[in-house]
Structure 1
């Protein structure tokens, strides 16, 4: 069941990685869209998801199907996601930049809509798959390991495909290949969870607004979500900056692939280690340590412009070590909060919890490239339709700062809210014991 469930990260990892890595450069360096407007195009569909995700969660909570409330959405929305993703980069060579930008916006919006109805039910499932505090960490270990592998596969190969084919055809070919990868993950998780158990608690009563108010009143969930959103903003900015750092600072297109391998390689090796750390010191303490490691790596990356590629690669690898833990722990802590609520009330709001969570994550990941685009614009970045433009020194400084000190500061800031989180193994287990006695 762990591998079957974790395979869904192939779809979420590909969609979460490639647009953040490739879409902003596609708009600025292939379509010639000004950086500030490219940032708007990247942000708007994600902002739509912020509104849509809680709705998708409530719908999945109330879905009645022999296959369970979540699994039908995995297949329906997953197929739509794959198709829409391929179309984002498949626009015709229209003479109008406005028309080309509109094409990207429409199909990115369609993909984001499909993604909401795939991701929210998918992330909601662990609260129903097991009642064990530690088993959720093990479940997330497999999910994050597969996620890390997918990020490395998609993030490393997408630029290679684009560069090998060249021009806009390179982006089109990359879009089709990544759509196939997404489809593989969709089918794998649908088949891999066909024998998985589902919870027996009833869907939460009341309107969506009432349920959102209840979820918003859960303090531990609120502290955890705030931490995760700020870190999503940080990693979103770093992801958006990879291609710019490789091309304009390290002056090597191949460096974008190496940076991705450095980022994800440690995560593949160390995700099980972070899980063991969590079992020894607790999820919260492990999350704090992982966050500090991520921030340290991002801070070191500020030296990339003067110290060269080696330092950039080492810094990115250190970020990858921390990033692995910053995925394992919050994703294992989220179902604890949802399950405690369900056991205490007898109402299943896992979908609403997850909808709010993914809305926050989506907002952070959307704001990351948007904020990075603003940093580029402030630095005077020059857009073009063919790339290869010599950027002014101010733009190079902006590229480096947006990739390093900005995400480091956001990650450190997030720890202010993580300190307030109070759920631990004893608290979670006590909730289940109280329910059993009741």
Structure 2
């Protein structure tokens, strides 16, 4: 019985883990590029007021969040020779990068209303195509293997390549954009986006084709709607806890990413250390990704392992807020950043490895309904709620505190707002996550027992479904 219950515990070769991770590496040349540089591009190059940028981000992120369950619902019901999820990545990749490039096509001479409409339409398309690519990509983790350790390993490789892609993107943009814009005024961001598209589209398609979906869907999917699916997901305690973790991760990663360039430019007074900071924190982030699986296996519990990362991050964020209130020692900033990024890398890796494990919880609760794609999209929805708070809240706080685009210096209110967004808000979200993890009970032992129960009871479920 144990062998039957573990028939989908596939051990993946190294090259497949690498190609799996490279899909997310490409994603960062669109999504992280937008999260890190779109706000300052719109306020300082496209010359749209910060308050308007905040409203645009809020509207587009709201659209981004509500289309998640729809895409997940449709992906779970997709049947093709490539599987359920790979076709979405393969066919949405090109539209994603093309619309990303068009989003950075500058026309500062346009009227504010025209510029606003242009950005809203393009941004809405970008987030839709990104949903099609990234949510189905996340669902692949749960269908290429059922082994929780391998799923955790895949998440580590995913985050490793995500960090590589994100770091390379930041290095290229911070170093090349000023040079390109000096030769071609206002065109630096657009030229880079076109270059990213040329390289990333074929890479993403080929890497998606290299994967194989081995965990099958139920033979005859039960007819349940989106709202019924949502109600089912709410009954999965471990899954709802993971959703809270994703909400915090969305804010901490993308919210901080949005204000990072403002923080370096106006608080530190120099944007050049941003590229250096990104580069020197790459190695600890990668180490965090790889060693996270060691700690999960050692503790035999992903919830306990990730709780440690949250506790450390809370302490370090609060400490840096007080350390850097009046003067900033750049060397100390780098050193603390290295330590913080180790735990942040481990944290992100574990989160992405937790989502696939919750699929079996719902499958057992519903007696046979696998909702790989839908659960991944719901977790992504909460991630994007966090992203919305961070990316739309940052320009709003800037506007409320009196931010003036391209001013040599900003007011104390603006500086304090940037400090709070960079240090205190992430600390608060991480503390909430740490508290929630006291109720996360799905360790390795519990998961293996759950898979065995599913294997034992599945024939009865299928017979009941056939009789109906």
TM-score > 0.5 by shorter chain: yes
Match of 2:331 in 1: 310
Q: Against the structure 1 CA distance between its residues 81 and 262, is the aligned structure 2 distance closer, same or farther, given a 3 Å change threshold?
A: same
Deviates more, 1:197-206 or 1:216-225: 197-206
Count residues with an aligned counterpart.
434
2:407 and 2:331 mapped to 1: Cα distance?
23
- Matched-pair contact (CA < 8 Å) for 1:10–1:181: no
Mapping for residues 127-138 of structure 1, pairs under 5 Å: 127-138=142-153
What is the aligned counterpart of 1:331 among 352, 359, 365? 352
Equivalent residue of 1:266, what SS?
helix
Q: Does 1:174 align with 2:192?
A: yes
Mapping for residues 397-412 of structure 1, pairs under 5 Å: 397-412=416-431
Match of 2:218 in 1: 201
Q: Deviations over 1:18-51 (max 9, x none)?
A: 1111011112222232222212222322211211
Shift in Å, 1:158: 1.9
Shift in Å, 1:213: 0.9
Match of 1:362 in 2: 384
What is the aligned counterpart of 1:416 among 416, 424, 435? 435
- Matched-pair contact (CA < 8 Å) for 1:89–1:171: yes
Shift in Å, 1:310: 2.1
2:318 and 2:331 mapped to 1: Cα distance?
15
Shift in Å, 1:173: 1.5
Q: Against the structure 1 CA distance between its residues 328 and 106, is the aligned structure 2 distance closer, same or farther, given a 3 Å change threshold?
A: same
Match of 1:346 in 2: 368
TM-score (norm 2): 0.88
- Matched-pair contact (CA < 8 Å) for 2:288–2:341: no
1:296 and 1:35 mapped to 2: Cα distance?
32
- Matched-pair contact (CA < 8 Å) for 1:380–1:394: yes
Shift in Å, 1:201: 2.6
- Matched-pair contact (CA < 8 Å) for 2:149–2:293: no
2:38 and 2:222 mapped to 1: Cα distance?
38
1:436 and 1:196 mapped to 2: Cα distance?
19
Shift in Å, 1:235: 2.2
1:262 and 1:184 mapped to 2: Cα distance?
29
Shift in Å, 1:198: 4.1
RMSD (Å), alpha carbons? 1.9
What is the aligned counterpart of 2:279 among 244, 261, 267? 261
Equivalent residue of 1:7, what SS?
helix
Match of 2:236 in 1: 218
2:304 and 2:208 mapped to 1: Cα distance?
34
Q: Deviations over 1:95-117 (max 9, x none)?
A: 31222232222111111010111
- Matched-pair contact (CA < 8 Å) for 2:296–2:305: yes
TM-score (norm 1): 0.93
Shift in Å, 1:231: 2.8
Q: Against the structure 1 CA distance between its residues 359 and 421, is the aligned structure 2 distance closer, same or farther, given a 3 Å change threshold?
A: same
Shift in Å, 1:237: 2.1
Which structure has the greater CA radius of gyration? 2
Match of 2:17 in 1: 2
Q: Against the structure 1 CA distance between its residues 111 and 351, is the aligned structure 2 distance closer, same or farther, given a 3 Å change threshold?
A: same
2:448 and 2:335 mapped to 1: Cα distance?
41
2:223 and 2:359 mapped to 1: Cα distance?
15
1:400 and 1:218 mapped to 2: Cα distance?
37
Q: Does 1:233 align with 2:251?
A: yes
Equivalent residue of 1:99, what SS?
helix
What is the aligned counterpart of 2:173 among 151, 155, 158? 158
What is the aligned counterpart of 2:397 among 370, 375, 378? 375
Q: Deviations over 1:203-245 (max 9, x none)?
A: 4531111111101121111112112202321222211121011
1:268 and 1:338 mapped to 2: Cα distance?
27
Match of 1:242 in 2: 260
Match of 1:63 in 2: 78
Q: Against the structure 1 CA distance between its residues 28 and 53, is the aligned structure 2 distance closer, same or farther, given a 3 Å change threshold?
A: same
- Matched-pair contact (CA < 8 Å) for 2:45–2:108: no
Q: Against the structure 1 CA distance between its residues 64 and 270, is the aligned structure 2 distance closer, same or farther, given a 3 Å change threshold?
A: same
Deviates more, 1:96-105 or 1:213-222: 96-105
Q: Deviations over 1:354-399 (max 9, x none)?
A: 111111112211221222223322322112xxx2532122212222
Structure 1, unaligned runs of 5 or more: none
2:244 and 2:154 mapped to 1: Cα distance?
23
Match of 1:186 in 2: 204
Equivalent residue of 1:14, what SS?
coil
